């Protein structure tokens, strides 16, 4: 008897960042509206979304 389980999906290569963090250089996409915020300095603090003021982004 064998069981095939397919619960180990690998879709979490996107990391989440929140306003106030210093996640480093890169483009961060607002999870709420899709607005892209670009940080070009490693010491830049991730701001609230300039479009919808939400605070959660994915990279």
**Interface positions with Zn ion (CB under 5 A):** 30, 32-33, 35, 49, 51-52, 54
Q: Name every residue whose Cβ is closer than 8 Å to that of residue 53 and which is 6 or more positions away in sequence.
A: none
Q: Which is nearer to Zn ion, 10 or 16 (CB)?
A: 16
Task: Work out how close the CB of 32 gets to Zn ion at its nearest, in angstroms, rounded to a whole number.
Answer: 5
Q: Which is nearer to Zn ion, 1 or 14 (CB)?
A: 14
Report how far apart, in Å, the C-alpha atoms of 13 and of each of 9, 10, 48, 59 are. Answer: 11, 8, 23, 9
Task: Work out how close the CB of 34 gets to Zn ion at its nearest, in angstroms, rounded to a whole number.
Answer: 7
In angstroms, the CA 23 to CA 5 distance is 35
Structure-token pair, residue 35:
């607005």
Q: Which is nearer to Zn ion, 54 or 59 (CB)?
A: 54
């Amino acid at each position: 008897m064998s069981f095939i389980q397919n619960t180990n999906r690998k879709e979490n290569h996107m990391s989440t960042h929140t306003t106030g963090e210093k996640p480093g250089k890169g483009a961060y996409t607002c999870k709420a509206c899709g607005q892209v915020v670009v940080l070009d300095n490693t010491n830049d603090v991730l701001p609230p979304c300039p479009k919808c003021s939400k605070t959660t982004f994915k990279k």
